[in-house]
Structure 1
Amino acid sequence: MTTDMENKPIPVVAVFDVGKTNKKLLLFDQNYQVVWERSARFMETVDEDGDPCENLESLRLSIFDALHEVLRKHEFDIRAINFASYGASLVYVDVDGKPLTPLYNYLKEFPFAIQQQLYNTYGGETVFALETASPPLGSLNSGLQLLRLKRERPDLFRHIAHAMHLPQYLSFLVSGQLCADLTSIGCHTALWDFNKNNYHQWVEDEGLVNVFPKIFPGDTAFESTFLGKSYLVGVGLHDSSAALIPYLLFFQEPFVLISTGTWCISLNPFNETRLTMSELQQDCLFYLSYLGKPVKASRLFAGYEHEIQSKRIADFYQVTTAKFRLMEIDWGIIACLEAEDHTTELKSFEKIDLKRYDNYEIAYHSLLFHLVKAQVAATKLVLQGTAVSRIFVDGGFSKNPIYMSLMAREFLDIEVFAATMPQATALGAALLMHQHWNTSTIPANLLELKLFTSHNIS
């Protein structure tokens, strides 16, 4: 015999977590446990130049297909929806809200002349980069993508009614509300003047301000309906900034989060010291948090380098990379490696002839030894000037005992934790909707921490 309570649908918040590779829809219950998940991958398409890019139409259809699917599930009651997605990607729509161009890849080659003219007009590359906290990154500076359209395709540009970063476009699809968000604007877009805390003068001068919708706070919720069902829709968030949200909610003492994946990003929300040119040249910049506060960040392509070099080691010693996954640290090997020449260059290991090492264990320790040296140099860029007491490492490297033990040894005066927070990006987007739908208290056990010391005693 079933009770009414057993038949009652579970209240949930739905989050679309749209990465470059995986597109996920997750449902979180009132305790922020994932109760349902769907994942999809799409084939890339090409833009008018033949360059690879996201299939925007497939993504749009997938959003609606997924919503249709979960709304048919009577065991769930969707109360709110939010979005987290990669940055540096703009969607240009006409007056009817229809995209006018492909979703250009942020790695697409950018015309040097357009970039240089902009820099020359506004004080030179150094001044411009410091004011916008945006190293010269071509298409990765998403604001420049819009400038390029204005310069190269003026007829098309005239038809652009609105330009939205990808997270806000996804929100717009569901809510029908045009909006902009500071986490998307504030990630190396070259749009924001961090000194004036507003759009940079060039955005005004080029007439782009009116193309961008009104900026809404990151915890805004719009009322919307879909298939006769009412719910609240968030504005969407830049994924790296979303992953920081749970930590900001749980910890008040100064900390640094190292979010590890393909890119390893060190985020210090307690460091508002101005960027120096030296820091910019070392891939250090500012993000904006959902509260609109600067977050000093440094980036390292360490996850990618680890993947490439792990495969090189595995191929050389004729083993699988699975051999490396649970390997514990051997401090004797580390002591031997200490005597070798080493630098803080990310790619220093790739120059080493693997014949130097007797076995794959030594080679893999050496790879991690070199990667951590580079990571420490990158993280120290955001540590300066703040009394940080904890470093949290989440993502892939947090599960690597060698990496974590070496990091703990490098930061003897700071507690170094491996942080396990399943679906941190999606969870951050979900938590920002909390006040709008959830009457329960946010659970304190969403984050699992493991303290590392220099000898891996936890």
Structure 2
Amino acid sequence: MPLPRFIAVIDIGKTNAKVVLIDAHTKQQLAARSTPNTVRQDGPYPHADVERLWAFMLESLGALQQEHGVDGISITTHGATAALLAGEHLALPVLDYEFSGPMQSAPAYGAVRPAFAETLSPLLPNGLNIGAQLFWQRQQFPEQFASVTQILTYPQYWAWRLSGVLASEVTSLGCHSDLWAPQQADFSSLVQRQGWRELFPAMRPAASVLGPITADIAGATGLLIDTPVTCGIHDSNASLLPHLGTHEEPFTILSTGTWTIAMTVGGNTDQLDPARDSLANVDAFGRPVPTARFMGGREFDMLAPNAAVPTPADVDAVIAGDVQALPSFMAGVGPFPSHVGCWTSDADALSPGQRSAAVSLYLALVTQACLGLCGMGRQIIIEGPFARNRLFAAALARLTGVPVLTSGDATGTSLGASMLFGGAAGSAAGTPAAPLDHAGFNAYANRWRARLA
């Protein structure tokens, strides 16, 4: 199949959903449409508003077809999400992984989940392990669960709705789900023991084309009936794709959005600590990638709601005044899951620039702690929104002592997902970040670490 040129990427993040049009020849973004990814609170539990997202996707695809033309559709979504089908419909709503309900089954689930050595998947709070979701849903809704005919991870759910073809895929199954054993490249013992394996469709590579869109989709959007749809990929792994095979290993990709996720390609998994939210993701080729993460984007929005670009004076005021944010403001995740987030001084007295400076330094320090778990590459490439945060990049370069490059892409996930159709590997080299030049920063960082000791 010739490489489609204009690729519409459905990119569903935890906070926002987008449909982005990528020119596969130039690897440039031509257009983008976005909507908040809202969570519905009705029904049996908080859940994804899949019909609202579906209407947004169809409207966006139709508009992009009129404006530019669409030659192919690729899909990437956040992880820790599964759709339970009963035939052609959902047996249960698509559970929001931030819902705490699955923790009601924590003792019983803890007794059956595999060891970290098998899955490289830590026990996480709420519904962040898909295995915990499924276990709880079967206990709470036995009749509905008994009707389930297929379990689809989230990118493959949308691929099925577009193409009518069912598939399983390794990057979403290997995303702290408890469902995958990376070293064996197979489903985990949990899936076997719980009798779930027959509910998962056949495995397909993320880069495979499942088929063309259905006639109904063509009619609703104006797309050609033979428009191909890829199997789809987990969003953090989409960020990796443009870089695989293009850098000397080990190298670290820092994928930023709601989550800040450090992935060290070519690293080893020996330093991972399941108690500190470090794990192995599985890349598009099925290889374990040591990973550590925290909810950096969520914390930035919480701590700096009126964000402003810090001036040198703002940075100096924060460092000289020893104004620090200490982790963690999102309980149970990140490298400091048990530490309660707090400020060392009155954050309300800070100007927006000072507050943004303090939060940016905080994020760099937590990121450095993540790198101590997943391993630090010879260089660090920042993808996503934090690539635009110059102070964050400068502080990270100073803290790590390795080259830090910032990607010019608005999001690395969309470009990576577009590459599922093929084409040359590689991405823009990125812009080097000059290390933060402030005489007091080393002592500031040491004080921050001492407060967590």
What does residue 83 of structure 1 align with? Answer: 75
Partner of 2:451: none
Deviation at 1:341, TM superposition (A): 9.7
Contact 1:334 1:369 in 2 (8 A): no
Shift in Å at residue 333 of structure 1? 4.8
Q: Which position in structure 2 is the counterpart of 1:325?
A: 309
Aligned partners of 1:417 and 1:452 also within 8 Å: no
Which of 30, 35, 54 is matched with 1:35 structurally?
A: 30
Identical amino acids, percent of aligned pairs: 24
Name the CA distance, whole Å, in 2 between partners of 1:349 and 1:206: 38
Is the CA contact 1:266–1:382 (under 8 Å) kept in the aligned structure 2?
yes
> Residue 115 of structure 2 aligns with which residue?
128
Q: What is the alpha-carbon distance in structure 1 between the residues aligned to residue 15 and residue 319 of structure 2?
A: 39
Per the alignment, do residues 329 and 130 of structure 1 end up closer, same or farther by CA in structure 2, a change over 3 Å counting?
farther
C-alpha displacement at 1:447, in angstroms?
4.7
Task: Report the 3-state secondary structure (helix = DSSP H, G, I; strand = E; otherwise coil) of the residue aligned with 1:139.
Answer: coil
The residue matched to 1:101 in structure 2 has which SS? coil
**Equivalent residue runs for 1:8-19 within 5 Å:** 11-19=5-13
Q: Does 1:149 align with 2:137?
A: yes
Structure-2 separation of matches of 1:355 and 1:224: 53
Answer whether contact 1:333 1:365 (CA < 8 A) is retained: no
Deviation at 1:299, TM superposition (A): 1.1
2:389 aligned residue = 400
Matched, 1:167 2:155: yes
**Structure 1 residue 251 displacement after superposition:** 2.2
Which residue in the other structure is 1:438 paired with?
A: none
**Which has the larger Rg?**
1
Tell me the residue number matched to 2:263. 267
CA distance in 2, matches of 1:280, 1:445: 32
Whole-Å Cα distance in 2 between the matches of residues 349 and 142 of structure 1?
27
Partner in structure 1 of residue 95 of structure 2: 104
Q: Corresponding residue for 2:281?
A: 287
- Is the 8 Å Cα contact of residues 268 and 375 (structure 2) preserved in structure 1? no
Change (3 A) 1:20 1:345: closer
Q: Deviations over 1:94-132 (max 9, x none)?
A: 22x22122111111123446332233245xxxx623422
Displacement after TM superposition at 1:308 (Å): 2.5
Q: Identify if the C-alpha distance between structure 1 residues 430 and 365 changes in structure 2 by more than 3 Å, giving closer, same or farther.
A: closer
**Aligned pairs, how many?**
415
Q: In the TM superposition, what is the alpha-carbon distance from 1:357 to its structure 2 partner?
A: 7.6
Q: Amino acid of the residue matched to residue 204 of structure 2?
A: F
Find the counterpart in structure 1 of residue 181 from structure 2.
Answer: 193
Deviation at 1:91, TM superposition (A): 0.9
Q: Which amino acid aligns with 2:116?
A: A
1:244 is matched with which residue? 240
Q: 1:119 to 1:235 in 2, by over 3 A?
A: same
Q: Match for 1:375 among 367, 370, 395? A: 367
User: Equivalent residue of 1:20, what SS?
Assistant: coil
Q: 1:180-206 deviations in whole A, cap 9, x for unaligned?
A: 111100111111123433111121121
Indicate if the aligned counterparts of 2:391 and 2:436 stay in contact, CA closer than 8 A. Answer: no
* Cα distance in 1 between the residues matched to 2:397 and 2:239: 22
1:227-242 aligned within 5 A:
227=218, 229-242=225-238
- Contact 1:346/1:374 (<8 A) preserved: no
Partner of 1:81, secondary structure, is strand
Distance 2:348 2:104 in 1: 46
Query: Distance in 2 between the 1:52 and 1:165 partners?
Result: 18
Offset of residue 224 of structure 1: 1.4
Moved more, 154-163 or 64-73: 64-73
Q: Give the drift of 1:346.
A: 4.1
Per-residue deviation, 1:358: 8.4
Match of 1:354 in 2: 346
Q: Is the contact made by 1:90 and 1:166 (CA closer than 8 Å) also made in structure 2?
A: yes
Post-superposition shift, 1:326? 4.8
With over 3 angstroms needed to count, the CA separation of the structure-2 counterparts of 1:402 and 1:11, relative to structure 1, is closer
Q: Partner letter of residue 435 of structure 2?
A: T
User: 2:431 is matched by which residue type in structure 1?
Assistant: L
Distance in 1 (alpha carbons) for counterparts of 2:179 and 2:21:
33
Aligned partners of 1:107 and 1:357: how far apart in 2?
Answer: 31
Q: 1:367 to 1:155 in 2, by over 3 A?
A: closer
Q: Tell me, what secondary structure is at the counterpart of 1:13?
A: strand
TM-score, scaled to structure 1: 0.81
In structure 2, C-alpha distance between the alignment counterparts of 1:343 and 1:309, rounded to whole Å: 9
Matched, 1:427 2:415: yes
Q: Please list the CA deviations of residues 42-64 of structure 1 after superposition, one character each: whole Å capped at 9, or x if unmatched.
A: 65423433x43221122233333
Contact 2:397 2:434 in 1 (8 A): yes
Tell whether the 8 Å contact from 1:221 to 1:234 is kept in structure 2 after alignment.
yes
Measured in 2, the distance between the counterparts of 1:42 and 1:356 equals 29
User: Could you tell me how far 1:255 is from its partner in structure 2?
Assistant: 0.9
Give the SS at the match of 2:14: coil
Unpaired segments of 5 or more residues in structure 2? 219-223, 330-339, 439-453
Query: 2:354, 2:103 → 1: CA distance?
Result: 44
CA distance in 1, matches of 2:352, 2:77: 37
Give 5+ residue unaligned stretches, structure 1: 1-9, 312-320, 436-440
Report SS of the residue matched to 2:93: coil
